[in-house]
């Protein structure tokens, strides 16, 4: 066969392949009210080929053939499957899971009413009384009992109000983890009330991006502060603190040396675990560049390497290795982590991104399994320059407490993936923030002016609090900030002179005095001083940044979208936690705040939050 014949054959094969491809477009809307659904995931089933609907719910995707099957998914909606056929326009109306909850509740009400009626009839017959024309009161509302779960969650004791005159300093580590929000969403979408300790308010707030200014100087982040009246108590004030990590284009990011550490034990067999995990990691592989490398280590009854470090250009080889993974056996998590660090160090890239990505349900039951053992193991390895990202999957035996510790101690972050849409967010949309650290050991310390601040409360960050002296201690571990990441924190403040049930008086001290420095505090308009410390990813010495916030009177209705959105999420978190500090917060006020601060919402995450709040009305009533 001559070259011309070969070339013509190639052209014929290519033209046949492209002829089979079909371009599909359409609009994704909510069946309940007809509104567009932004951020819906449209995937050609059995492939990594996918698209996402825009802010108007519109999408485009090119599929392989008429026999292709489209899967349309969005959190809070049931997944739809549609065969393409000869259609070139496919509009999809998605059913909200809240509608299913209502239908189930209606069926339950009918069943309960029928049961009550039969009970009434039996009792009436027993007493030989006529029942014709008798009525009874149906159930007016339904309360779902707290979900009793074998899943593992660390106990959270909410931060209380502290008097500024006795406790002028508030010190904590930043937290870029977002696992709690995705996990809460999973519970609510399943018609269950989340366990109280599954609700970490700072992770709910930090799940969303905020419109903060990019850094202008050499520092890796900008600092943004705002103060207004508190939406759930007009006599109080709310302070909004926002960090914006420098957004580094993917092409400018350093080369990556990644190790996928994958749990293939028997507990990972369900559809929402290993099968979802493999699809999620394929998305990440598609994002990898030629200069990046990945190895795959697995663990079950024992740990082993199924793929040596392989160039990102060999995507088919990496995906084939993922496809061959199956679940079975017990869980030697400790051995897997040790092997993954060994592999990462063997392929260490100087000035690169050296990282292990651990994917598991957290159920370590053989080897180094206690929280303390795992913590020591990770702490001993992190100083060698390998970072750790933890990605949780599944439900039922999910061990959130162990995975949070691993990410915290491993200089990394922690996410939870419950569907392909979340996988895209973690591994594609926020690729840089998830995998590339631009600052480590980031700490915040706030000093409040007691002449203006009677008491304050940090909302969330309970397991990120530090001792005041830890702020200047460069040996003390703290949180990491990724490329493009935003971190937000809220303080509720009780001004001086405002009476509050949260501030109790104590007897005067006998041996010392709590004095305000009059010449500074009482004449200053500064409400607080904000200090930040951070290190470069490979650095040992921290850098200090200091700024102040001036006291102002501004109503929350005149505040920024950033301020109102974070307040809405915090309010919802307090309701889920049944917090004593929720005050005048209820579902209606949360929805008012959120709907007024949704903004452009191109990816649909804020619209999803609003649907989640609405769906929560069908769960347990607030106690």
Q: Are 44 and 64 in contact (CB under 8 A)?
A: yes
Of the pLDDT bands very low, low, confident and very high (cuts 50, 70, 90), residue 143 is very low
Q: How many CA atoms lie within 13 A of 340 on its CB side?
A: 34
Would you give the end-to-end CA distance of the chain in angstroms? Answer: 81
pLDDT at residue 18 is higher than 80 = no
Of the pLDDT bands very low, low, confident and very high (cuts 50, 70, 90), residue 218 is confident
Could you tell me the pTM of the whole model? 0.81
Of the pLDDT bands very low, low, confident and very high (cuts 50, 70, 90), residue 144 is very low
How far is C-alpha 32 from the geometric centre of its chain's CA atoms? Answer: 27
Structure confidence at residue 235 (pLDDT): 97
Of the pLDDT bands very low, low, confident and very high (cuts 50, 70, 90), residue 523 is low
Strands 437-448 and 169-173: antiparallel
Of the pLDDT bands very low, low, confident and very high (cuts 50, 70, 90), residue 110 is very low
Of the pLDDT bands very low, low, confident and very high (cuts 50, 70, 90), residue 3 is low
pLDDT tens-digit readout, 380-400: 888 888 999 999 998 888 889
Of the pLDDT bands very low, low, confident and very high (cuts 50, 70, 90), residue 49 is confident
pLDDT at residue 436 is higher than 50 = yes
pLDDT at residue 363 is higher than 50 = yes
Q: How many residues does the chain have?
A: 623
Phi-psi group of 191: left, alpha or beta (phi > 0 → left; psi -120 to 50 → alpha; rest → beta): left
pLDDT at residue 264 is higher than 70 = yes
Structure confidence at residue 252 (pLDDT): 87
In 3D space, the residue among 323, 324, 310 whose CA is nearest the CA of residue 279 turns out to be 323
Q: Are 60 and 23 in contact (CB under 8 A)?
A: yes
- What average pLDDT does range 120-129 have in this prediction? 37
- What average pLDDT does range 209-233 have in this prediction? 92
Share above pLDDT 70 across residues of the chain, in percent, rounded to a whole number: 84
Of the pLDDT bands very low, low, confident and very high (cuts 50, 70, 90), residue 426 is very high
pLDDT at residue 108 is higher than 50 = no
Higher-confidence residue: 126 or 365? Answer: 365
Rounded CA-CA distance 200/178 in Å is 9
Tokens of 524: 């200053």
Q: Are 175 and 464 in contact (CB under 8 A)?
A: yes
In 3D space, the residue among 50, 66, 65 whose CA is nearest the CA of residue 18 turns out to be 65
How far is C-alpha 594 from the geometric centre of its chain's CA atoms? Answer: 17
pLDDT at residue 124 is higher than 60 = no
Work out the mean pLDDT of the chain and round it to a whole number.
84
Rg for the chain (alpha carbons), in Å? 27
Crossing angle (nearest 10°) for helices 274-287 and 315-323: 180
- Residue 123's contacts (CB-CB under 8 Å, 6 or more residues apart) are none
Number of C-beta neighbours around residue 145 at 10 A:
8
Least confident range of 59-63, 223-227, 502-506, 563-567 = 502-506
Structure confidence at residue 433 (pLDDT): 82
Q: Are 419 and 452 in contact (CB under 8 A)?
A: no
Residue 546, classed as helix, strand or coil, is: strand
Higher-confidence residue: 602 or 597? Answer: 597
For residue 361, what are the CA distances in angstroms to 157, 301, 398, 402, 536? 25, 15, 5, 10, 31
Q: Are 176 and 479 in contact (CB under 8 A)?
A: yes
Residue 205, classed as helix, strand or coil, is: helix
Structure confidence at residue 99 (pLDDT): 59
pLDDT at residue 83 is higher than 60 = yes
Structure confidence at residue 367 (pLDDT): 59
Rounded CA-CA distance 353/339 in Å is 18
Rounded CA-CA distance 328/343 in Å is 23
Rounded CA-CA distance 365/333 in Å is 8
pLDDT at residue 486 is higher than 90 = yes
- What average pLDDT does range 60-87 have in this prediction? 87
Out of 14-28, 40-54, 450-464, 600-614, the most confident range is: 450-464
- What average pLDDT does range 350-358 have in this prediction? 93
Of the pLDDT bands very low, low, confident and very high (cuts 50, 70, 90), residue 520 is low
- Sequence-ordered strand ranges (E) for 273-371: 293-299, 303-311, 353-360
pLDDT at residue 470 is higher than 70 = yes
Structure confidence at residue 118 (pLDDT): 46
pLDDT tens-digit readout, 33-47: 888 887 788 888 878
> Which residue bears the tokens 């993936």?
417
- Residue 33's contacts (CB-CB under 8 Å, 6 or more residues apart) are none
Rounded CA-CA distance 278/275 in Å is 5
Backbone angles phi, psi at 283, to 5 degrees: -60, -45
Q: What is the largest CA-CA distance in the chain?
A: 103
Rounded CA-CA distance 243/598 in Å is 20
User: Any idea what DSSP says for residue 267?
Assistant: G
pLDDT tens-digit readout, 147-174: 456 788 999 999 999 999 999 999 999 9
DSSP string, 110-131: HHHHHHHHHHHHHHHHHTT---
- What average pLDDT does range 548-572 have in this prediction? 97
Q: Residue 98: in which H helix or E strand, if any?
A: helix 97-126
Of the pLDDT bands very low, low, confident and very high (cuts 50, 70, 90), residue 585 is very high
pLDDT at residue 126 is higher than 50 = no
pLDDT at residue 17 is higher than 50 = no
- What average pLDDT does range 325-349 have in this prediction? 87
Q: Are 58 and 75 in contact (CB under 8 A)?
A: no
Structure confidence at residue 5 (pLDDT): 52
Q: How many CA atoms lie within 13 A of 307 on its CB side?
A: 25
Tokens of 77: 């909606």
pLDDT at residue 127 is higher than 70 = no
């Amino acid at each position: 066969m001559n070259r011309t014949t070969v070339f013509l054959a190639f052209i014929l094969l290519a033209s046949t392949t492209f002829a089979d491809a079909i371009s599909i477009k359409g609009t994704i809307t909510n069946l309940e009210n007809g509104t567009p659904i932004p951020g819906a995931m449209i995937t050609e089933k059995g492939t990594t080929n996918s698209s996402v609907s825009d802010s108007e719910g519109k999408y485009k995707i090119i599929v392989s053939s008429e026999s292709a099957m489209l899967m349309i998914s969005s959190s809070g909606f049931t997944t739809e499957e549609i065969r393409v056929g000869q259609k070139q326009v496919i509009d999809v109306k998605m059913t909200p899971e809240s509608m299913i909850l209502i239908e189930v509740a209606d069926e339950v009400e009918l069943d309960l009413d029928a049961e009550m009626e039969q009970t009434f009839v039996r009792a009436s017959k027993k007493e030989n009384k006529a029942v014709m024309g008798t009525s009874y009161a149906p159930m007016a509302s339904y309360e779902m009992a707290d979900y009793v779960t074998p899943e593992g969650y660390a106990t959270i004791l909410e931060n209380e109000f502290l008097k500024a005159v006795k406790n002028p300093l508030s010190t904590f580590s930043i937290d870029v983890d977002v696992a709690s929000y995705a996990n809460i969403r999973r519970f609510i979408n399943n018609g269950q009330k989340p366990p109280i300790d599954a609700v970490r308010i700072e992770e709910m707030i930090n799940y969303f991006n905020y419109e903060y200014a990019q850094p202008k100087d050499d520092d890796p982040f900008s600092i943004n502060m705002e103060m207004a009246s508190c939406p759930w108590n007009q006599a109080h004030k709310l302070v909004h603190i926002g960090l914006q990590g420098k957004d580094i284009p993917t092409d400018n990011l350093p080369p990556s040396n990644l190790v996928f550490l994958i749990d293939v034990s028997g507990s990972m067999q369900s559809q929402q675990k290993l099968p979802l995990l493999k699809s999620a990691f394929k998305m990440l592989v598609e994002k990898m560049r030629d200069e990046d490398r990945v190895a795959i280590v697995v663990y079950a009854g024992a740990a082993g390497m199924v793929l040596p470090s392989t160039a990102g250009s060999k995507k088919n080889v990496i995906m084939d290795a993922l496809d061959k993974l199956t679940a079975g056996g017990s869980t030697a998590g400790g051995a897997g982590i040790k092997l993954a660090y060994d592999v990462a160090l063997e392929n260490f890239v100087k000035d690169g991104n050296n990282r292990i990505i651990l994917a598991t349900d957290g159920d370590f039951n053989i080897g180094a399994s206690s929280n303390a053992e795992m913590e020591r193991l990770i702490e001993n390895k992190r100083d060698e320059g390998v970072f750790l990202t933890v990605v949780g999957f599944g439900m039922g035996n999910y061990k959130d407490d162990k995975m949070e510790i691993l990410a915290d101690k491993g200089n990394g972050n922690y996410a939870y993936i419950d569907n392909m849409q979340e996988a895209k967010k973690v591994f594609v949309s926020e690729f840089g923030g998830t995998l590339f650290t631009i600052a480590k050991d980031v700490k915040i310390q706030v000093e409040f002016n007691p002449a203006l601040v009677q008491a304050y409360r940090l909302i969330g960050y309970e397991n990120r609090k530090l001792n005041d002296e830890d702020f200047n201690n460069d040996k003390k571990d703290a949180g990491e900030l990724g490329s493009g990441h935003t971190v937000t924190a809220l303080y509720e403040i009780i001004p001086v002179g405002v009476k509050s049930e949260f501030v109790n008086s104590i007897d005067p001290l006998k041996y010392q005095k709590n004095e305000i420095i009059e010449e500074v505090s009482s004449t200053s308009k500064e409400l607080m001083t904000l200090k930040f410390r951070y290190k470069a990813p490979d650095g040992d010495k921290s850098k200090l940044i200091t700024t102040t916030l001036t006291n102002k009177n501004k109503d929350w209705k005149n505040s920024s979208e950033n301020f109102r959105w974070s307040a809405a999420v915090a309010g919802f978190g307090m309701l889920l936690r049944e917090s004593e500090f929720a005050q005048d917060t209820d579902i209606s006020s949360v929805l008012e705040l959120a709907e007024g601060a949704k903004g452009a919402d191109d990816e649909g995450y804020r619209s999803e939050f609003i649907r989640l709040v609405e769906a929560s009305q069908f769960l347990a009533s607030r106690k």
